[in-house]
Structure 1
Amino acid sequence: MPLTAPIAAHVWTLEGGLTVAFERRAAPGFALDLRIPVGSAHDPVGQEGAAGVLEEWRYKGAGDRDARALQDALDDLGVRRGGGVGSEATRLSLSGLTADLPAALGLLADLVLRPTLPPQELPILTDLARQDLEGLEDSPPDLLALEARRLTFPRPQGSPFAGYAHPASGTPEGLAQLSVAGLRAFVRRYGAAGSVLGVVADADAVEVRALLERTFSDWHAGEAHTVPALFQPGLRVHLPHGDAEQTHLSVTAPGVSPHDPGWLAWQLALTALSGGSASRLFHTVREERGLAYHVSASSLLLGGQGFLSAYAASTPDRAPETLTVLLAELARLPQGLTEAEFERARRGLTASVVFGAESLRGRANTLTRDLAVFGHVRPVAALRASLAALTLEKVNRFLAGYHPAVEATVVSLGPGQEVSE
């Protein structure tokens, strides 16, 4: 079947610095996805939770609307909203009917440029953040993910940024230090510089650009900083957790940068490693030995770098064997894939590209991610062509020089002592 003709995406950098990717799609609706390069890693040291609290505070009033009026305005348009705070960015997304695109953009601009940040809401929001932190103790997998991030990517000494060692909800100590004045100063970092917006709608490109120029004309530049991810290789740390019934394992290893020529080959190899019931990890850890119900591996992007992140949970007595098998599969990657593994993984990646582009919201998110991660939009047809051009020989040539197990860091959480291979 021939490749679908590429849909040309328009990419503009507006006067204030906001970069926009617009793609016209024949559909009755629109989708917007805004990524601002301020996340929990950018929280000031000692004020962990600043970005997370601010993301919720925005919806307590913006422009000339209070919280109730703002929610009513969104509901009147039938707009669906989403987003949240990640380690490196804050996202706000809206979707609705095409006729309501100008009004939705106006609401988005109010949320970003003109939040009222009513002081009386701050104690409520910080209390909610504390409750979220307390819930971590009841979720060993989430607690492990947090602790593994803290140990594997510690804050650089002397950095003004809190880094990757805490969740978006912050820390009890950091939440206690948040103030109205401090957060209103912090919100000035949220600007057009480094921000990217993905727009998908059935509208004229010239009109959309003019609308965006008017809507975001007074957005200040703000700040765009990359927080370094200083990977600690070769660590072996066990965190005792008496209430956990299982031993949870986190493995982090070096990966590939999005700008590296081997990126696509690495993605295909990760799909062969952990891309479904026929993947290596699923077969060797779960099906063949029954060591763990869930095991997975995926790419992790931090500080402009790529890492391999794997997870498994097993009974305490079988955790050492689970870890041994998991690391053995990572060590086996340099030997390459079989023809069957290669073809299966390539079909899986191609299907994810095709179906991911079907959804308006999914495509808007992809446009934003492409601009932020790769610096350009990757057309669906071009990405499919790149996957079709991959060969088993190219992937195995890449894997021959890729040794993730050598520097892998292992953090475990559960009852008992350290888990040894």
Structure 2
Amino acid sequence: MPGSSVHVFQFSGGFRCAFESRSGPGFAFDLRLPLGSAHDPVGREGSAAVLEEWLFKGAAGRDARQLQDAFDDLGVRRGGGVGPEATRLSVSGLLEDLPAALSLVADVLLRPALPEAEVPVLLDLARQDLEALRDSPSDLLGVQARAHTFPRREADGGAGYGHPATGTLEGLANVTPASLREHYGRRYGQAGSVLGLVADLSAGEAQALVERTFAAWPVGEYTVIPVHFQGGLRRHFDDPEAEQTHLQLTALGVAPTHPDWLAWQLALTALSGGSSSRLFQAVREERGLAYAVGASALVLAGQGFLSVYAGSTPGRLPETLDVICAELRRLPGGLGEAEFRRAHAGLSASIVFGGESARSRAVALTRDLTLFGRVRDLGDLRRELDALTLTDVNRFLHDYQPMQNASLFTLGQAVPA
């Protein structure tokens, strides 16, 4: 973006900060801690999610209410949560409040109160979240699909990708204040953590502020939980009361660091990037088989996968699946000139608008440093996309056959043979 300047700082404990100087009255930062649900101890699934909630129950001499008031007094917007691989904390507000906001987050991470009386309440809330999962068949199917497609192995070092971020009822029953403290003491630290920061500061000011704020942060433990993709699986999860039958297809994709990553992204945009995309047209517009259908990239442990979802009536699911599989099988035939132009325009627009908001840009800085090991300059990224030709994309697609080893899962009423 014109007028922007990106700098990457690495601190002695392994903590990295990607900073973009941008004029304006506000700031945004996104802090990614490499501790997700996949890192939950085996038998204590749900630890990362409960711990993240527990951290905000008081810090640096403040109780939970006082900590909440401290954030609210600044008028900042907060977000984040726990995913499979990471815990994220994001904050945005007025530039004058950046030091105080960053300091509050540091208090939460470095000086939490961790009151034991709060743990039973947090565990009850986690159980309620698990109960609510039953009311979302698509999310429930996603969990079941991950459990089979990416199974845990004994040497992985964590509970893996096959359970909700909230955990499991069995795992939550084994979570205690002592186990959470041990998890916090081992896992929360500088190593592997990434901060994306956008603010109207000089690089020296930003570096000094971050270094000063997190100077006392221990190194911690950083591990990547591996994925073990299981292709060619087929399984149906029966739910006789469901009005729809949902399908989830997972196939091999392209890793973020692979030279064909951008070509794959453009191909996915043509496949499922809007109302003119192949899946939307073939499944919904032309045949009315499903209200919701889409494909997206899934990245776990640095590997890329294709994830396709659709929800249809039980009687029409076989046709829905046939049409989706047919669209995936014809990808090696390449894109046409018109759909290439549309996909190119859509991807280019997403890059531009993704850089407009300070909040989205802070998230992008964190993502880039995590997935690519570097921050992709928006101007360079647009030039790289502009240099991508139809021939380049079709060369990649010629050898890309996602159906060759895809795994398929369905959930709902029994699927007709």
Task: Indicate whether the TM-score tops 0.5.
Answer: yes
Q: Does 1:31 align with 2:40?
A: no
Amino acid at match of 1:162: A
Q: Which residue of 1 aligns with 2:391?
A: 393
> Unaligned stretches of 5+ in structure 1?
none
Alignment map for 1:14-413 (pairs within 5 Å): 14-188=11-185, 189-413=187-411
Letter in 1 for 2:50: V
Instruction: Report if aligned partners of 1:7, 1:379 keep a CA contact under 8 Å in 2.
Output: no
* Alpha-carbon distance in 1 for matches of 2:195, 2:4: 18
User: Judging changes above 3 Å, is the alpha-carbon distance between structure 1 residues 158 and 205 closer, same or farther for their aligned structure 2 residues?
Assistant: closer
What TM-score results when the alignment is normalised by the length of structure 1? 0.97
Q: Which amino acid aligns with 2:183?
A: F
Are the equivalent residues in 1 in contact too, given 2:157–2:225 (CA < 8 A)?
no
- Code of the residue aligned with 1:174 in structure 2: it is G
**Does residue 9 of structure 1 match 2:6?**
yes
| Structure 1: distance between partners of 2:209 and 2:96 | 13
Secondary structure at the aligned position of 2:191 is classed as coil
User: Hey, what's the Cα distance between the residues in 1 that align with 2:171 and 2:120?
Assistant: 13
Deviation at 1:231, TM superposition (A): 0.7
User: Distance between the aligned counterparts of 1:199 and 1:251, measured in 2?
Assistant: 36
Structure 2: how far apart are the matches of 1:60 and 1:373? 31
Identity %: 63
Residue-pair matches, total: 416
- Aligned to 1:318, what secondary structure does the other structure show? helix
Aligned to 1:416: 414
For residues 357 and 118 of structure 2, what CA distance do their matches in structure 1 show?
35
Deviations 1:219-252 (A, max 9, x none): 1111111111111101110000112111100000
Q: Which amino acid aligns with 1:194?
A: G
Cα distance in structure 2, aligned partners of 1:258 and 1:222: 26
The 8 Å contact of residues 156 and 226 in structure 2, kept in 1 or not, is answered as no
CA contact (8 A) 1:339 1:392 kept: yes
Secondary structure (helix, strand or coil) at the match of 2:211 reads helix
After superposing on structure 2, the runs of 4+ consecutive aligned residues of structure 1 that deviate more than 2 Å are 4-8, 157-160
Q: CA RMSD in A?
A: 1.0
Structure 2 segments unaligned to the other structure (5+ residues): none
| Cα distance, 1:207 vs structure 2 | 1.3
- Match of 1:250, as an amino acid? Q
